[in-house]
Amino acid sequence: MKTVAVLGGGPAGAVAAERLASAGLDTILIDEKLAWEKPCGGGVTYKAYSQYPFLIDNNTPKKVVTQSFLSAPKAGRASLELEKPILVYSRYDLNLMLLKRAEKAGAKIEKTRVTNVERKGTGWTLSTLNGNIAADYCIVATGARNPLRSVGTVWTADDTMYALGYYVPDDRQHIDVHFLGGIEGYIWVFPRQRHLSVGICGKGESAQALRVRLERYMQEQGISRKNAQFYAHMLPALHARSWKDNRVAGDGWLAVGDAAGLVDPVTGEGIYYAVRSADLAAQTVLNDSLSPDAKAAAYRTVLDTDFTRDLHIAALLAHRIFTGRFLFGAIPTRVVAFIRRSPRFRELMQDIFAGTQSYDGLSHRLFSNLGASLGEATLSFFLKHEPL
């Protein structure tokens, strides 16, 4: 294998290019925008930066967030200390840092648009606005709005969610998460570099209806839209039935990050899965014990073993988590109440924020701690005389 083309310069593409170039492969990364300010990205979990220390050990400006507030209809607001902080970057700054790492490792970077990919024998011809490029293998990192229909995952309407909101010229040190009533989704306020990202993501409602919800919340919270820039985006959120046949690889190509639909269907978190899938894809390409024809199947297997099986479980749970009921109340309402009252439940939520709690083990942990958490919540209720 002589040349690997990485189609896309977001975190997934940049990390894949860095890994491949560091191993000595002739690597070219092609992207129309390169570093750009994505509206709903930039949060890096403990799971991501503990496994990939370059996400924290750098000079790129970042906020280290150690407190979050969660709220839900009829539940008020609960504080959650984050013992394992979340790092919040400007997405532009994070992306630029990762691209510089790829370039330093030896990857060639070309700023242009790929308009078509054509398989020719055992290689590829990539049509770009600057001419044709030949490659022996492709890493597809084109993001959620992949224009190349023959590679990457295949969407249906049920496999995406809207994400929209405002860049607000303000500053704060904590994260706010507000659960919505009756739909899969939530509102967030993230303290990013030089601004707040105030947004909403959800399934089951139109973008316009979600915008109305968000602007009502902003008004209630005293967050001004004056001089705020509006944004809208699409996020992968694969339906449970889509994970089994998700198209993540094919003849001569592997997809990574959003282009492969690798986003947590519950939280919308994608940076860890972008970086992890890029690493696994690079390992697969570099594995000389695998024939070129065997790499696609090997990549599917390693993804399934590593995390996509867990994301499938998340997709099965998502609707229940956001719209289900427990103890005669909505689950998000009960979540906020238990955070306020139960130390055990706060530990669980801290691990969810950190990314270290798997969905596969979530039910067991919930039920094994349910009796103690109920006892803690009940005791707190009688001591404080506040309603659950």
What local confidence, expressed as pLDDT, does residue 387 receive? 41
What local confidence, expressed as pLDDT, does residue 350 receive? 95
Residue located via tokens 């040349």: 3
Q: Residue 146 corresponds to which tokens in the numbers above?
A: 């992949």
* Cα separation, 364 vs 357, whole angstroms: 11
What local confidence, expressed as pLDDT, does residue 354 receive? 95
* Cα separation, 356 vs 272, whole angstroms: 11
Instruction: List the chain pLDDT tens, one digit each, 388 residues.
Output: 689 999 999 999 999 999 999 999 999 999 998 877 766 667 899 999 999 999 999 999 999 999 999 999 888 999 999 999 999 998 889 999 999 999 999 999 999 999 999 998 889 999 999 999 999 999 999 988 888 889 999 988 889 988 999 999 998 999 999 999 888 899 999 998 788 999 999 988 899 999 999 999 999 999 999 999 998 888 899 999 999 899 999 999 999 999 999 999 999 899 999 999 999 999 999 999 999 889 999 999 999 999 999 999 999 989 888 888 776 678 899 899 889 988 888 999 999 999 999 999 887 787 776 555 444 434 343 334 344 3
What local confidence, expressed as pLDDT, does residue 364 receive? 77
Number of domains in the chain: 3
- Please check whether residue 210 lies inside any domain of the structure: yes
| 92: phi then psi, degrees, rounded to nearest 5 | -60, -50
What local confidence, expressed as pLDDT, does residue 319 receive? 87
DSSP assignment of 260-328: GT-S-TTT---HHHHHHHHHHHHHHHH-TTS-GGGHHHHHHHHHIIIIIHHHHHHHHHHHHHHH-EETT
Strands 184-192 and 249-250: unpaired
Q: Which amino acid is at 264?
A: D
* Cα separation, 77 vs 335, whole angstroms: 11
- Please check whether residue 128 lies inside any domain of the structure: yes
Question: Is there a single domain that holds both residue 104 and residue 141?
Answer: yes
Question: Is there a single domain that holds both residue 35 and residue 107?
Answer: yes
What local confidence, expressed as pLDDT, does residue 388 receive? 39
Sheet containing 114-120: order of strands: 114-120, 123-128, 131-135
- Please check whether residue 78 lies inside any domain of the structure: no
What local confidence, expressed as pLDDT, does residue 369 receive? 65
Residue 221 · residue 166 · CB < 8 Å: no
Centre a 10 Å sphere on the Cβ of residue 113 and count the other Cβ atoms it contains. 13
Residue where one domain finishes, among candidates 195, 216, 236: 236
- Please check whether residue 302 lies inside any domain of the structure: yes
* Cα separation, 93 vs 380, whole angstroms: 44
- Please check whether residue 65 lies inside any domain of the structure: no
* Domain limits for position 329: 325-384
Q: Which amino acid is at 269?
A: E
pTM above 0.85, yes or no: yes
What local confidence, expressed as pLDDT, does residue 39 receive? 62
Instruction: Decide: residue 62, CB within 10 A, 0-12 exposed, 13-18 middle, 19+ buried.
Output: buried
Question: Is there a single domain that holds both residue 35 and residue 139?
Answer: yes
Question: Is there a single domain that holds both residue 231 and residue 199?
Answer: yes
Residue where one domain finishes, among candidates 315, 336, 365: 315
Residue where one domain finishes, among candidates 181, 206, 236: 236
- Please check whether residue 66 lies inside any domain of the structure: no
What local confidence, expressed as pLDDT, does residue 375 receive? 43
Question: Is there a single domain that holds both residue 253 and residue 119?
Answer: yes
- The string over 66-79, giving b where at least 16 C-beta atoms fall within 10 Å of a residue's C-beta and e elsewhere, is eebbbbbeebeebe
Question: Is there a single domain that holds both residue 166 and residue 224?
Answer: yes
**Structural Rg of the chain based on CA atoms:** 21
- Please check whether residue 212 lies inside any domain of the structure: yes
3-state secondary structure of 104: helix
Question: Is there a single domain that holds both residue 257 and residue 307?
Answer: yes
- Please check whether residue 370 lies inside any domain of the structure: yes
What local confidence, expressed as pLDDT, does residue 41 receive? 64
Mark out the alpha helices in the chain (DSSP H runs).
Answer: 11-22, 46-51, 91-105, 207-221, 271-286, 295-303, 309-323, 331-341, 343-354, 362-384
What local confidence, expressed as pLDDT, does residue 371 receive? 55
Residue 177 · residue 70 · CB < 8 Å: yes
Question: Is there a single domain that holds both residue 262 and residue 114?
Answer: yes
